[in-house]
């Protein structure tokens, strides 16, 4: 009968060891994932600015300067603003719903941005084995 509790104790000790190993590996994987995400973010940021520069160069070659682009964007923004005000006047509850959704999305974006600045690899909490 003394064998059963000792075998059970060994199995529990082995299970705790496996759980500790799994937690350690998960922490390492989270750290590697965070590093990969940071590398990807830097790569995309660098390439996005390069693509914007290339697009500006192409526009300049065709004789389209920044002032022409700004004027076109301003005209389109004015048209969109008129359309939105007209639609909001006809559908006030729908406009309120869209504004609420936009507010939630902007809030989530800013919450994520502030969280990303402080994000590190998740802490690994290990239980101490009794055996």
Question: Is 20 found in the same domain as 3?
Answer: yes
What pLDDT was estimated at residue 69? 80
Q: How far is CA 34 from CA 28, 85, 122, 124, in A?
A: 10, 43, 10, 15
Q: 125 or 56, which is more confident?
A: 56
Question: Is 23 found in the same domain as 4?
Answer: yes
Domain extent at residue 1: 1-64
Give per-residue pLDDT as tens, 62-113.
888 878 888 888 899 999 999 988 988 999 998 898 889 999 999 988 888 8
Asked whether the whole model's pTM tops 0.85, one would answer no
Question: Is 72 found in the same domain as 102?
Answer: yes
Please tell me the distance from the alpha carbon of residue 51 to that of residue 45, in angstroms, as a whole number: 10
Question: Is 77 found in the same domain as 50?
Answer: no
What mean pLDDT is reported for the chain? 82
Give percent above pLDDT 70 in the chain.
85
Pull the structure tokens for residue 98. Answer: 């869209």
Please tell me the distance from the alpha carbon of residue 56 to that of residue 46, in angstroms, as a whole number: 16
Q: Per-residue pLDDT for 35 more than 70? A: yes
What pLDDT was estimated at residue 54? 85
Pull the structure tokens for residue 115. Answer: 């969280």
Question: Is 55 found in the same domain as 5?
Answer: yes
Asked if residue 129 belongs to a domain, the reply is no
Question: Is 70 found in the same domain as 47?
Answer: no
Question: Is 81 found in the same domain as 28?
Answer: no
What pLDDT was estimated at residue 62? 82
Question: Is 76 found in the same domain as 58?
Answer: no
Which residues make Cβ contacts (< 8 Å) with residue 17, sequence separation at least 6? 129
Q: 76 or 126, which is more confident?
A: 76
How many domains would you assign to the chain?
2
108 phi, psi to nearest 5 deg: -65, -40
Question: Is 26 found in the same domain as 78?
Answer: no
Question: Is 93 found in the same domain as 60?
Answer: no
């Amino acid at each position: 009968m003394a064998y059963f509790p000792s075998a059970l104790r060994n199995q529990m000790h082995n299970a705790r060891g496996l759980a500790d190993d799994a937690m350690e590996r998960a922490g390492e994987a989270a750290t590697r994932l965070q590093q990969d995400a940071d590398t990807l973010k830097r790569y995309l940021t660098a390439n996005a600015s390069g693509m914007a520069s290339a697009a500006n160069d192409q526009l300049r070659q065709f004789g389209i300067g920044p002032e022409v682009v700004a004027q076109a964007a301003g005209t389109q923004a004015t048209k969109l603003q008129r359309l939105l005000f007209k639609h909001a006047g006809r559908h006030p509850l729908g406009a309120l719903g869209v504004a609420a959704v936009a507010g939630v999305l902007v809030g989530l974006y800013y919450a994520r941005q502030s969280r990303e600045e402080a994000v590190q690899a998740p802490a690994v909490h290990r239980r101490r084995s009794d055996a």
